[in-house]
Amino acid sequence: RRDRHDALLAGWREGCIDAGATWGGGESPSLPGLVQAQDIELAGSAVGMVPEGRAAILGADLAPGDEIVLVASSGLHANGSSLARAVADRLEHGYATPLPGGRPFGEALLDRSVLYVGLVRALLASRIDVHYLSHITGHGLLKLMRARRELTYRVSWLPSVPEVLQFLVEQAGMAPAAAYQTVNMGSGFAVYCAAGEGEEAVRLASEHGLRAGVAGAVEEGPRRVVLEPIDVVFESGDMDLAPSG
């Protein structure tokens, strides 16, 4: 179908532009007997560069008192598609099922993912003392403790949940603890910076058209995530056992 072909290429192009990346091409084999008509199989990888004169940001500088800034997502992003397909299969009208706001479920699932490359570039070019960065993808807010450090990440504020994600987890019958360790639930990216610098990171996010807020702080304590607004605690062991998005 030419419309699907064109939509795929258009989205790929927009993603490259957003990320400031170059797509170097790749193999486009025909695999009859393996990939059926109207289906598509995609695989990809990306290579990035650490700016000259900077060390890779791997969490070594994380410390108690650091502020956690959460940057909003636009919806499903890259994780939760299997769950979405399972839910759609159970709905009488499938992907055409209207959300409470009126949009079709399937249309909302395809909302453009937010790419945070521009924000990261701005953070690295600023005077903000960035100690860690974490992309909130599969395993949801468990990713807040992705750094292998014995620290507690206490969150007192959460971004609003996109309507499509709220509908998805409700239809799947997921409790808050399960939902927040499966899909992003409105948080697409986390910035950890020195105490007192979170609001400047929020300002930079706003300049890039992104909603963000100072969500909490890093504390001394065992490796865990405390989500105060929903009364959920994730322990270190949950990181290994969380269901895949």
C-alpha to C-alpha distance for 244 and 242, rounded to whole angstroms: 6
Q: Count the domains in the chain.
A: 1
Instruction: Give yes or no for residue 97 having a pLDDT over 60.
Output: yes
Instruction: Give yes or no for residue 125 having a pLDDT over 70.
Output: yes
For residues 145 and 155, the answer to whether their CB atoms sit within 8 Å is: no
Sequence letter at residue 98: P
Identify the residue whose tokens are 């009126």: 102
Q: Which domain holds residue 139?
A: 67-241
What is the pLDDT, as a whole number, of residue 226?
98
Q: CATH number of the domain that 154 lies in?
A: 3.90.650.10
C-alpha to C-alpha distance for 150 and 194, rounded to whole angstroms: 18
Q: Which of residues 26 and 208 earns the better pLDDT score?
A: 208
Instruction: Give yes or no for residue 244 having a pLDDT over 50.
Output: no
Q: Answer whether residue 27 is part of any domain.
A: no
Q: Answer whether residue 195 is part of any domain.
A: yes
Q: Answer whether residue 235 is part of any domain.
A: yes
C-alpha to C-alpha distance for 100 and 73, rounded to whole angstroms: 19
Q: Answer whether residue 54 is part of any domain.
A: no
3-state secondary structure of 130: strand
Instruction: Give yes or no for residue 202 having a pLDDT over 60.
Output: yes
- Out of 12-26, 50-64, 178-192, least confident range: 12-26
Q: Answer whether residue 110 is part of any domain.
A: yes
Q: Answer whether residue 167 is part of any domain.
A: yes
Q: What percent of the chain has pLDDT over 70?
A: 98
- Out of 17-26, 149-158, 197-206, least confident range: 17-26
Residues 129-186: tens digit of each pLDDT: 999 999 998 899 999 999 989 999 999 999 999 999 999 999 999 999 999 999 999 9
Work out the average pLDDT over 214-237: 97
Q: Answer whether residue 113 is part of any domain.
A: yes
What is the pLDDT, as a whole number, of residue 243?
45
Q: Answer whether residue 60 is part of any domain.
A: no
Identify the residue whose tokens are 């322990």: 235
What is the pLDDT, as a whole number, of residue 85?
96
Classify residue 227 by its DSSP letter.
E
Q: Average pLDDT, whole number, for the chain?
A: 92
